Amino acid sequence: MFGDIGHGGIVLAISIWLIYDPNSKKMLPDVYAMRYLLLLMGIFAFYSGWIYNEFFSIPLNVFGSCYGHAEPEEHAEKI
């Protein structure tokens, strides 16, 4: 599992559906047994996606950058 807002959101939504829908046990019995594992995977993937600023592997610029490119002053005068 990798950190991504989109993929983590999908896994999170599916796990919440598995937890709250009483018919999901009949429809997907093998996946139903892993519902809490999927919940944690979805939460942490969603969180990591916010940290990495990625949505379906597309970079986002939500928080901005604290880094800037500044040229030394002796090079800036020659240009």
Span 47-70, pLDDT tens digits? 999 888 888 888 888 777 777 777
Q: Which residues contact 6 (CB under 8 A, 6 or more apart)?
A: 49, 55, 56
Which position has the higher pLDDT, 32 or 70?
Answer: 32
Give the predicted TM-score (pTM) of the model: 0.73
% of the chain beyond a pLDDT of 70: 87
Q: Is 64 strand, coil or helix?
A: coil
Q: Is 57 strand, coil or helix?
A: coil
Instruction: For residues 47 and 54, give the distance between their C-alpha atoms in angstroms, rounded to a whole number.
Output: 10
- The answer to whether the beta carbons of residues 18 and 31 sit under 8 Å apart is yes
Q: Is 71 strand, coil or helix?
A: coil
Quote the pLDDT of residue 42: 94
Quote the pLDDT of residue 58: 86
